Amino acid sequence: MPAAEIRPLPGSPALVVADTPGRSGTTVVISDVHLGYGATRDRPDGPPPASIDALADQVLGATRTAGAGTLLIAGDVKHPIVGVPAALRPGVRRFFATLLAEGLRVEIVPGNHDVGLGRSLPGEVVLHPPTGVVHRGVGIFHGHRWPSEPVARAPRLVAGHLHPGVRLAPTVDDPTGKRRCWVRLEARLPPAPRAPRRPPGPVQEVVILPAFNPIAGIESLNREKPRRGRSFLVHRFLSGGAARGFLLDGTDIGVLAGLTPDPTARPGPGPAPPTP
């Protein structure tokens, strides 16, 4: 089956995957929701911009705008890495109950923050292996583990985990100057670690999703290479071509020096900017 069309949702950190017109043929893919990020004893659901109810509303806004019948979360549904703390469990259940009440089919590819998540999920939610899933011909995984062979060989790959962004000049309204961005490149992926040597695979399109949580950390990819565990995704998947960044409004910010071995390399064509 040929891969579906993929396009960013204008102004949103959400990707639309569509193979046939209509709700049943359209999926919204997001990553790094990090439910409970910034939670305190007094605010177990997190601060207002990223509270569980606010994030649920943002998800529903994206699926309604896209006319999607399926939501696929590509990892890091929750923020606590191991287990779901007792104070967070009611919020996690409420988050998914809100989505299911909309009539959405909800699927999850677990990320590194999702250990123990399954115990708090409604039975209607589909939980895929952490090695990813091929959805409508698109390979989707989180980015902390090597994807399965079928996922890795899909013509288009979508991942999260990196929290990609750029640092621009600070302003009064935006003192840090950090903005979330998409990352897109075309590259030939290397074989899996410890796999038998083989000729390079075909050129694939790789898209890295911005973090959906608006206050989650951002890696400034136009300044330096990512640190910590996120470097796995960079070194193995994103270093084989000229990766370009796109702001949520579709602005092309060019080749990202923090991902590309040779910043002077000629980039491939970027995706069409989303229409506001």
8 A C-beta contact, residue 117 and residue 84: yes
> pLDDT averaged over the chain?
88
* pLDDT value, residue 232: 79
* pLDDT value, residue 236: 81
Q: Is 141 helix (H, G, I), strand (E, B) or coil?
A: coil
pLDDT band at 198 (very low <50, low <70, confident <90, very high): low
What is the value of pTM for the model shown? 0.90
* pLDDT value, residue 62: 98
Q: pLDDT tens, 148-161?
A: 999 999 999 999 99
8 A C-beta contact, residue 268 and residue 187: no
pLDDT band at 199 (very low <50, low <70, confident <90, very high): low
- Report d(CA 4, CA 239) in Å as an integer: 25
Give 98's Cβ-side CA count (13 Å radius): 17
8 A C-beta contact, residue 63 and residue 100: no
* pLDDT value, residue 177: 83
pLDDT band at 275 (very low <50, low <70, confident <90, very high): very low
- The alpha carbon of residue 167 and the mean position of all alpha carbons in its chain are separated, in whole angstroms, by 19
Q: pLDDT tens, 91-110?
A: 999 999 999 999 999 999 99
* pLDDT value, residue 174: 77
* pLDDT value, residue 194: 72
Query: How are strands ordered across the β-sheet holding 70-73?
Result: 5-8, 15-18, 26-30, 70-73, 105-108, 126-127
* pLDDT value, residue 276: 30
Highest mean pLDDT among 174-183, 223-232, 254-263: 174-183
Residue type present at position 274: P
- 218 sits in the region (left: phi over 0; alpha: psi -120 to 50; else beta) called beta
Q: What is the helix (H) or strand (E) element at residue 17, kind and residue range? A: strand 15-18
